[in-house]
Amino acid sequence: MSEPATDPVVMFQMIEPHIALVTLNRPEKRNAINGDVAKAIDAIVKKTEADPDVRAVILTSCDDRVFCAGADLAALAQGGGSVLETPQGGFAGLVYANRMKPWIAVVEGKALAGGFELCLACDMIVASNAAMFGLPEVSRGLIAAGGGLGRLARRMPTAIASEIIATGASFGAQRALAFGLINRIAEPGQALAAARELARQIVPNAPLAVQYSLAAARTASALPDGAGRTVVNEWIALLMKTEDFHEGPQAFVEKREPVWKGR
């Protein structure tokens, strides 16, 4: 049964030039993912990908106590895992989405299970000192199937990732920072401000160069050097066909700020 129509379960707004804010908004359910949330995020991914004005996306929560508790178990029990997914985006409409724009997760409280997997699906994570992360699925006889297992193993030392996966234990922001899992740490209540500052450092750059560089890095990081070089060269070849590729050097020669068109 659908919930009564009130506020949107996911809110979207442009908070600064070129910076979009996406806010999970199911506080009564600790932002647990149901079908409505998955569809809303899927639509936002497609919207931001299609909008050349968007150069960075910040994903946050309406509640500082919890980023996302993961799957809505009531929805899961009624309809199975597929109701929490979209055909293009996978779990929550995000974890397997085909996207190029950089996403930054902002975590003030708990990001557990599927909530942690949402963070891992983003390109960067900014957290407060109060943040907690974890994949507790094994304690419920489940497996983290939203991309978290592979991404955690790639982004942390193998032994540490194995410990986190096998114990299901939560860990704090300081440990996450020590192992390079998060980009920045802030005082409680200040994580969004820190993420906005990070986004402000991204948006002045050529948007296609940022997108193509991140895409190349995602693929090349899992390949041997030779194969990784081939991937990077393929993205360079695509970038050379864009207007922005020529605008950067031309602006330098003319001693002016570049005007990026994203094409």
pLDDT in tens, 215-252: 998 887 776 677 777 877 887 898 888 888 888 888 88
Q: Are 156 and 164 in contact (CB under 8 A)?
A: yes
- Cβ contacts of residue 23 below 8 Å, gap of 6+? 10, 11, 12, 60, 61, 62
Please tell me the predicted confidence (pLDDT) of residue 5: 45
pLDDT band at 258 (very low <50, low <70, confident <90, very high): confident
| Structure-token pair, residue 247 | 């605008």
User: Average pLDDT in the 99-104 region?
Assistant: 97
Q: Is the pLDDT of residue 3 over 60?
A: no
Distance of CA 53 to the CA centre of its chain: 19
- Least confident among 102-111, 118-127, 244-253: 244-253
Task: Name the maximum alpha-carbon separation found in the chain.
Answer: 62
Give me the pLDDT at residue 7, please. Answer: 78
Query: Is the backbone of residue 258 left (phi > 0), alpha (psi -120 to 50) or beta?
Result: beta
171 vs 1: which has the higher pLDDT: 171
In contact, 180 and 156? CB cutoff 8 Å? yes
Question: How far is it, in rounded angstroms, from Cα 160 to Cα 173?
Answer: 15
**Dist. CA 73–CA 33, nearest whole Å:** 9
DSSP sequence for 173-187: HHHHHHTTS-SEEE-
Residue pLDDT, tens place only, 177-217: 999 999 999 999 999 999 999 999 999 999 999 999 999 98
Q: What is the mean pLDDT of residues 86-111?
A: 96
Position 1 scores a pLDDT of 31
Residue 4 reports pLDDT greater than 50: no
pLDDT score, position 6? 56
| Separation CA 26–CA 30 (nearest Å) | 6
Other beta carbons within 10 Å of 240: 9
- Polymer length of the chain: 263
One DSSP character per residue, 70-139 reads -B-HHHHHHH-GGGGEETTTEETTTTT----S-EEEEESSEEETHHHHHHHHSSEEEEETT-EEE-GGGG
Q: Place domain 10-202 in its CATH homologous superfamily.
A: 2-enoyl-CoA Hydratase; Chain A, domain 1 (3.90.226.10)
Report the percentage of the chain scoring pLDDT > 70. 94
Q: Tell me the angle at which helices 114-121 and 148-155 cross, rounded to the nearest 10 degrees.
A: 60
CA dihedral sign, ordered 66, 200, 21, 45: negative
Least confident of 77-81, 116-120, 154-158: 77-81
| Burial group, residue 236, by CB count within 10 angstroms (0-12, 13-18, 19+) | middle
Q: Tell me how far apart the alpha carbons of residues 41 and 225 are, in angstroms, rounded to a whole number.
A: 35
Task: Tell me the pairing of strands 132-134 and 110-112.
Answer: parallel
Which residues are the active-site residues?
Answer: 117, 137
Condensed to tens digits (0 to 9), the pLDDT of residues 123-160 reads 999 999 999 999 999 998 889 989 999 999 999 999 99
pLDDT at residue 81 tops 60:
no
* Tens digit of each residue's pLDDT (9 = 90 or more) over 25-71: 999 999 999 999 999 999 999 999 999 999 999 999 999 999 999 98
Starting at the edge strand found earlier in the chain, the sheet holding 103-107 runs: 10-16, 19-24, 56-61, 103-107, 124-128, 184-186
Q: Which residues contact 65 (CB under 8 A, 6 or more apart)?
A: 108, 109, 110
pLDDT for 2 equals: 38
